[in-house]
Amino acid sequence: MKIPVPDEILPADQLGHVHLVGIGGAGLSGIARLMHASGVVVSGSDANDSPVVRALREEGITVHVGHDAAHLDGVDTVVATTAAREDNPEIAEATRRGLRLWPRSAGLQSVLIGKRVVAVAGTHGKTTTTAMLTVALQEAGLDPTFAIGAEVASLGTNARLGSGDVAVVEADESDGAFLVYTPDVAAITNVDADHLDHWGTEEAYEAAFAEFARRARVTVTERADLADVTAAFADGAQVRGHDLVVEGGRTRFRVEARGVDLGEVELAVPGRHYAVDALLALAVGLELGADPAALVRGLARHQGAKRRMELVGTVGAADRAIRVYDSYAHHPSEIRGDLEAARSLVGPGGRLVVCFQPHLVSRTRIFGTQMGHELGAADEVVLMDVYVAREDSDPEVTGALVAGAVPLPAERVRFVPDRADVVPTLAGIARPGDLVLTLGAGDVTALAPELVALLGGSGA
């Protein structure tokens, strides 16, 4: 449901007891951690138990599994996920009691007041860019506060209150949340039409990013029409990457900033799209005045984020192991980038086996044919049915729509609508030397460890 942003966003320490509906999600769990670390009384609820829920409890936050109006006893402010529906008992009770009912964007903004905020937005790559920038700034001694849309291995969490005056946050455009923030620095990874269920048209989506750029003191992006500082693998960019090499599971490139050679950047993750993210992170760090050499060292420390080309496990002897990866890609451009990266990891004689779960009916309706086209870069494809999430299902929009657009022989494309059949299907396809990649923003992520277990392998 859409919850209006309040006219005035108070600092977190003026909100009283804050209860977060959907606290197990990537966005709200980060807000909960920042508020709790700031001394705010925090509680929350989620529909399901999960590792995140258990971790929040271990950190001292009261978390209920299931939603109940009684959870609001003593609560002053409710912050809710956009996935919550109006008939959620806690939403209904907050409305009945006249409590502050805020969207997650307002909740995050409340803990950013008084900080120099860097907001990282874009259709693709914002989680990785935010994570890379955070690690790099830590290496440079800035100790930033951060809120990221995934758990990050080199940070050990998705959010933490830092001692410095800089805050680095992932700014989500899917529901307009990024227009709540007034950042000192806006970083835009790219603008590639998505979330048209909210924005309606590509023109409206583009206009929202232009407004986001205007809200910042300075905007850093590869697009000259939006940028105050350009960062790109292109001649004329103020921060320019060049001599890009992707091999052996790593990526490296050289950087010039306003004509000054900053040397070589090496990343422990493979893919051109990760190099683009790293270049943007470096440019933002320079804008903040951080030491260039420290930023480069920090980028080398980044080990990837949860669900971003994450190695889940291996099966068999090292020289011919089946490797199982999981990634969050759910848009055609993201699928293309991740399959390029995955292909660079496939050894001689191995195949790229991809299991894709389309995410959202509206996105699949608009981009399903393009999704299928990009999946043609794999050797074998398994298509799941659409993960419906916040929308109603449509019998005309299923995984079969995507499967029919994959430009591979029919025997190498399988539409498996029953989720229970997916892992056995993948197990029957995979053979020594293959790389298996599960893709999508829904519950497909749970299948990778199940596949590793079924094949008798070990976790990463």
pLDDT, tens digit, 9 for 90 and up, residues 53-62: 999 999 999 9
Q: Which domain holds residue 170?
A: 114-301
- Does some domain include residue 5? no
Is residue 307's pLDDT more than 70? no
380: left (phi over 0), alpha (psi -120 to 50) or beta: beta
- Does some domain include residue 3? no
Give the CATH number for residue 396.
Answer: 3.90.190.20
pLDDT tens, residue by residue, 421-451: 999 999 999 999 999 999 998 899 999 999 9
pLDDT tens, residue by residue, 111-138: 999 999 999 999 888 999 999 999 999 9
Tell me which of 105, 131, 159 is where a domain ends. 105
State whether 231 and 142 are in the same domain.
yes
Cβ count near 290 (within 10 Å): 21
Amino acid 358: pLDDT = 94
Segment 140-146 mean pLDDT: 96
Give the CATH number for residue 170.
Answer: 3.40.1190.10
Taking a C-beta distance cutoff of 8 angstroms, is the pair 208, 179 a contact?
yes
Confidence label for 294 from pLDDT (cuts 50, 70 and 90): very high
Share of the chain above pLDDT 70, in %: 98
Is residue 402's pLDDT more than 90? yes
Confidence label for 304 from pLDDT (cuts 50, 70 and 90): low
State whether 156 and 247 are in the same domain.
yes
Please tell me the total count of domains within the chain: 3
State whether 133 and 265 are in the same domain.
yes
- Does some domain include residue 4? no
Amino acid 269: pLDDT = 84
Is residue 306's pLDDT more than 70? no
Residue 285 sits at the vertex; the CA angle it makes with 342 and 35, to the nearest 5 degrees, is 90
**What's the distance, CA 107 to chain centroid?**
19
State whether 292 and 317 are in the same domain.
no
Amino acid 329: pLDDT = 84
Tell me which of 244, 272, 301 is where a domain ends. 301
Tell me which of 56, 81, 105 is where a domain ends. 105
State whether 344 and 201 are in the same domain.
no
Share of the chain above pLDDT 90, in %: 70
Amino acid 193: pLDDT = 74
Taking a C-beta distance cutoff of 8 angstroms, is the pair 291, 257 a contact?
no
State whether 53 and 121 are in the same domain.
no
- Does some domain include residue 48? yes
- Does some domain include residue 330? yes
Amino acid 305: pLDDT = 61
DSSP assignment of 293-349 equals HHHHHHHHH---BTTSSEEEEEES-GGG-EEEEEE---SHHHHHHHHHHHHHH--TT
Lowest mean pLDDT among 17-21, 202-206, 372-376, 411-415: 202-206
Taking a C-beta distance cutoff of 8 angstroms, is the pair 90, 67 a contact?
yes
State whether 96 and 170 are in the same domain.
no
State whether 122 and 101 are in the same domain.
no
pLDDT mean across residues, the chain: 92
pLDDT tens, residue by residue, 173-188: 877 888 989 899 999 9
State whether 423 and 368 are in the same domain.
yes
C-alpha 237/C-alpha 234 separation (Å) is 6
Confidence label for 460 from pLDDT (cuts 50, 70 and 90): low
- Does some domain include residue 269? yes
C-alpha 3/C-alpha 199 separation (Å) is 16
Give the CATH number for residue 40.
Answer: 3.40.50.720
Is residue 318's pLDDT more than 70? yes
State whether 408 and 350 are in the same domain.
yes
C-alpha 127/C-alpha 78 separation (Å) is 25
Is residue 389's pLDDT more than 90? no
State whether 118 and 248 are in the same domain.
yes
Is residue 84's pLDDT more than 80? yes
- Does some domain include residue 199? yes
Is residue 379's pLDDT more than 70? yes
State whether 169 and 284 are in the same domain.
yes
- Does some domain include residue 460? no
